[in-house]
Chain A
Amino acid sequence: DAGVTQSPTHLIKTRGQQVTLRCSPKSGHDTVSWYQQALGQGPQFIFQYYEEEERQRGNFPDRFSGHQFPNYSSELNVNALLLGDSALYLCASSLRLAGRSTQYFGPGTRLTVL
């Protein structure tokens, strides 16, 4: 049973560029959440997708956007990259109809903005 997978593993971009990160949820899961983890901090919630719609959003600017596909996989897009966007981006999947559902995390994508 495949767990949550993310690609790419590492990414280096320059300020002003745009980036797309990808996530495939754990088999059987239908909800994908994205988190940003800066160095020395806990993960911060960016947004959550279910049924191809953004259902919840954290305190992140509109430069952060996402998408969920019919197969439940998801993308995170960040436009106009800033140095402060350098972080580990984590994807977590869960099963919405399970009620109190545990979120399972992927290995993350390390984004470095130069």
Chain B
Amino acid sequence: DQQVKQNSPSLSVQEGRISILNCDYTNSMFDYFLWYKKYPAEGPTFLISISSIKDKNEDGRFTVFLNKSAKHLSLHIVPSQPGDSAVYFCAASPGTGTASKLTFGTGTRLQVTL
């Protein structure tokens, strides 16, 4: 049973436009959410996170939105750049207050075209 779902395996966006990556979760115990970016032959790189007490967190070109009632979060990248082309993973952890285990989605491959 997949507790974190990324239903879009791939997404193609033109350079300069907005990229929106979506993630759904089923476990109500999750209260901390993260987005990681992964290039081939590298480990995941942390991008941005959000706690369940917030509904939005922004860091430069990256903004994460959390809708707790819908158990849905999204990552917005504005403007998209060719270097953003990578696989993006959504991850979630429960409210233990410590560096708890992460449950990942299956990833969305973003391609930013010129």
Cβ 8 A contact of B98, one of A45, A99, A104: A99
Tell whether, in the assembled complex, residue A96 and residue B98 are in contact, meaning their CB atoms are under 8 Å apart: yes
Tell whether, in the assembled complex, residue B102 and residue A90 are in contact, meaning their CB atoms are under 8 Å apart: no
B66 at interface by CB-CB < 8 Å: no
Tell whether, in the assembled complex, residue B44 and residue A90 are in contact, meaning their CB atoms are under 8 Å apart: yes
Tell whether, in the assembled complex, residue B46 and residue A44 are in contact, meaning their CB atoms are under 8 Å apart: no
- The interface bits of chain B over 78-114 (1 if a CB of A lies within 8 angstroms of the residue's CB, else 0) are 0000000000010100000111111111110000000
**How many A residues touch B, CB cutoff 8 Å?**
30
Q: Knowing A96-B99, A99-B97, A101-B98 touch, does A108 contact B106 (C-beta < 8 A)?
A: no
Residue numbers of B with Cβ under 8 A of A are: 4, 32, 34, 36, 41-46, 49, 51, 89, 91, 97-107
The 7 A-B pairs of least Cβ separation, nearest first, read A42-B104, A105-B43, A94-B99, A101-B99, A45-B101, A105-B44, A107-B43
Tell whether, in the assembled complex, residue A43 and residue B49 are in contact, meaning their CB atoms are under 8 Å apart: no
Residue on B nearest A32 in the bound complex, by CB: B99
Write out the residue numbers on chain B whose beta carbons fall within 8 Å of the beta carbon of A94.
99
26 contacts between A and B (CB under 8 A): A4-B43, A33-B101, A33-B102, A41-B106, A42-B89, A42-B104, A43-B104, A48-B99, A48-B101, A90-B44, A94-B99, A95-B99, A96-B99, A99-B97, A99-B98, A101-B98, A102-B46, A102-B49, A103-B46, A103-B102, A105-B44, A105-B45, A106-B43, A107-B43, A108-B42, A108-B43
- For window 1-50 of A, CB contacts with B under 8 Å fall at 4, 6, 31, 33, 35, 40-45, 48
A102 to B101, CA, bound (A): 11
A99 to B51, CA, bound (A): 12
A sample of 17 more A-B contacts (CB under 8 A), given A58-B101, A100-B32, A100-B51, is A4-B43, A33-B102, A35-B102, A35-B104, A42-B4, A42-B89, A44-B104, A56-B100, A94-B99, A95-B99, A98-B99, A99-B97, A101-B98, A101-B99, A102-B46, A107-B43, A108-B42
